[in-house]
Amino acid sequence: MTGIAGHGPVGGHGFTVPVLQLGDVLLVTLQGELHDGMAEQLQQDITARISHSRVTGVVIDISGVEIVDSFLGRVLAEIAAGAKLLAARTVLAGMRPAVAITLVELGLTLPGLWTALDVERAMELLGVTTRRGEGSP
Amino acid sequence: MSVSEENAEREPVAYQVSAFLERRREQIAQRWADAALFRTVFTVSRDEAVEAGRAVAAALAAVAASGRLDDIRASGFEAVRDQLGRMAASRARTGTDPDGVANEVAALREPATELLRAEFAEPDAPEAHEAVLALTVLMGTLRLVVMETTVSAGEELIARQREQLHEVATPVIKLWESTVAVPLIGTLDSARSQVVMESLLDAIVAERARYAILDITGVPTVDSLVAQHLMKTVAAARLMGAECIVSGIRPAIAQTIVHLGIDLGTVLTRSSLADALAYALSQQGVEIAPLRAVGAAADAGTR
């Protein structure tokens, strides 16, 4: 079970957020706005993926998200909580400074989530090395 | 009748004072040069003080000639306004408060009125009193002019310093690979903590930092509001994937935090910036050892 294994289950209608699998890590890239239906579909996709294959970590890349609200904050927290029940850690990667400030002002500090500067760091955090022959110190 | 008569009488008095100031300018300037105000401003040479005194006396004479003894906007003052401003500013720089400057200006009155009294054959004559009174009013106006220039100079200074304060507010320093620090100095209000948060988060992205140290050694007091700002900054840094360490909590501040019941349990703290850096380095697997020990080990190895 290696490499990129297809997209998540087809949602049926409209856009779905692609869920990529890299080894035993799921990579979800959020871009632009996340609507209610998409959020629900994404939650289902992720939990289904985790239980089907032996996934130990979920990386949610939100570097393409410029605006967050309490809804997105709640969805992220729920995804993390669901993943944790299935023994997978969720790492939120690539949050923009403006987004971080907005979340903190809203009082959403997302205590249950791990965070990382970008996807590479997130992979590192989950124990997947993406370095190319650099040799750690 | 009385009003018009008074005005008719006052006009000549003002001219009289003006003429006196013109005539005795040199003497007045010499006496003023010995007064505290001129003596302390023009420390280098007495000639300069005399020159300044002459200019002020001439300005007063011009104001008296225009008959507007109690008008601080009288055009006669314009010529010396700059000079008075500089003198007041120089007194302020040496730490004299506005009260002191006002008193020093008030002290200029006595030498001038003395000279004026001496002009009259009978010092107790009504004309003499009139003239001295007019001069007193004029000197009072001078005092007001000095105070006004002092106040406006103070306002300029405050405006300039406010700008400077914003400029020097918060540098973010790269301490090590993936480690940045912000030394916070001064009171943390919400506007400043917003600036701190923004610059810290930008630095985290730019330096790809894993550890961010907030050093509060220079923060005089920590109340619940400041603590809240700190916690927000820590939370925002964490959301960006960096671990935040708060360092430099002085014993008194630690006690205040405990007394106020502020829960900093979620915040990683170290007592000094050095400790915080040591923590960040050890977490990254960097170890710092004195060179000598390494040298000694090498020596032991070769022998």
Where do the structural domains in chain A lie, given as residue ranges?
Answer: 19-125
- Which tokens belong to B111? 């030498």
Structural contact between residues B135 and B17, judged by C-beta atoms closer than 8 angstroms: yes
pLDDT at residue B297 in the model: 56
pLDDT at residue B131 in the model: 84
Concatenating the DSSP letter of every residue in chain B gives: -HHHHHHHHHHHHHHHHHHHHHHTHHHHHHHHHTSHHHHHH--S-HHHHHHHHHHHHHHHHHHHHHT-TT-TT-GGGHHHHHHHHHHHHHHHHTT--HHHHHHHHHTTHHHHHHHHHHHSSSTTSHHHHHHHHHHHHHHHHHHHHHHHHHHHHHHHHHHHHHHHHHHTS---EEEETTEEEEEEES---HHHHHHHHHHHHHHHHHHT-SEEEEEEEE-----HHHHHHHHHHHHHHHHTT-EEEEE---HHHHHHHHHHT---TTSEEESSHHHHHHHHHHHTT-----HHHHHHHHHHHH-
pLDDT at residue A129 in the model: 58
Which residues of chain B lie closer than 8 angstroms to A63, CB-CB?
none
A7 pLDDT more than 80: no
Which residues of chain B lie closer than 8 angstroms to A103, CB-CB?
236, 239
Chain B contact present for A121, CB below 8 A: yes
Average pLDDT over residues A70-79: 87
The rounded distance, in Å, linking the Cα atoms of B88 and B146 is: 7
Chain centroid to CA A61: 6
Task: Compute the C-alpha angle B166/B170/B174, nearest 5°.
Answer: 150
Average pLDDT over residues A37-44: 87
pLDDT at residue B298 in the model: 55
Which domains, and CATH codes, for chain B? 2-164 (1.10.490.10), 173-289 (3.30.750.24)
Which residue, among B216, B219, B224, has the nearest Cα to B262 in the 3D structure?
A: B224
The rounded distance, in Å, linking the Cα atoms of A96 and B77 is: 59
- Which tokens belong to A77? 């927290």
The rounded distance, in Å, linking the Cα atoms of B63 and B37 is: 21
Which phi and psi (to 5°) does residue B105 adopt? -65, -40
pLDDT at residue B269 in the model: 92
Q: How far is A115 from chain B (nearest CA, A)?
A: 4
Q: How far is B203 from chain A (nearest CA, A)?
A: 10
Chain centroid to CA B101: 16
Polymer length in residues for chain B: 303
Average pLDDT over residues A12-39: 81
Along chain B (303 residues), what's the average pLDDT of each consecutive run of 10 residues? 45 80 85 79 78 84 82 80 78 76 81 83 81 86 84 82 71 91 85 86 93 91 86 92 92 88 86 93 88 62 51
Count how many Cα atoms sit within 13 Å of the Cα of residue A116 in the half-sphere of its side chain.
Answer: 19
- What residue of A is the nearest CA neighbor of B202? A97
Q: For A5-19, A52-66, A122-136, which range has the lowest pLDDT when averaged over its residues?
A: A5-19
A12 pLDDT more than 70: no
Distances (CA, A) of B180 to A6, B60, B207, B233, B276: 40, 62, 8, 14, 11
The rounded distance, in Å, linking the Cα atoms of B212 and B138 is: 64
Which residue, among B79, B99, B76, has the nearest Cα to B151 in the 3D structure?
A: B99
Structural contact between residues B268 and B243, judged by C-beta atoms closer than 8 angstroms: yes
Q: How far is B166 from chain A (nearest CA, A)?
A: 20
A9 pLDDT more than 50: no
The rounded distance, in Å, linking the Cα atoms of B302 and B290 is: 19
User: Percentage of chain A with pLDDT > 70?
Assistant: 82
pLDDT at residue B3 in the model: 42
ipTM: 0.77
How many Cβ atoms sit within 10 Å of the Cβ of residue B231? Answer: 19
3-state secondary structure of A37: helix
User: Which amino acid does the sequence have at B15?
Assistant: Y
pLDDT at residue A14 in the model: 56
Q: Indicate the DSSP class of residue A86.
A: T
Residue in B204, B236, B266 nearest the CB of A101: B236
Chain A, residues 44-103, CB within 8 A of chain B, namely 92-93, 95, 97, 99-101, 103
Which residues of chain B lie closer than 8 angstroms to A116, CB-CB?
241
Q: How far is A100 from chain B (nearest CA, A)?
A: 5
As a whole number of Å, the CA-based R_g of chain A is 15
Chain A contact present for B191, CB below 8 A: no
- Which tokens belong to B131? 């003239």
Residue in A105, A117, A137 nearest the CB of B241: A117
Chain B contact present for A137, CB below 8 A: yes
Which phi and psi (to 5°) does residue A20 adopt? -100, 145
Count how many Cα atoms sit within 13 Å of the Cα of residue B277 in the half-sphere of its side chain.
Answer: 14
> What residues pair up with A29 in beta bridges, in sequence order?
A61
Instruction: Name the CATH topology of A19-125.
Output: Transcription Regulator spoIIAA (3.30.750)
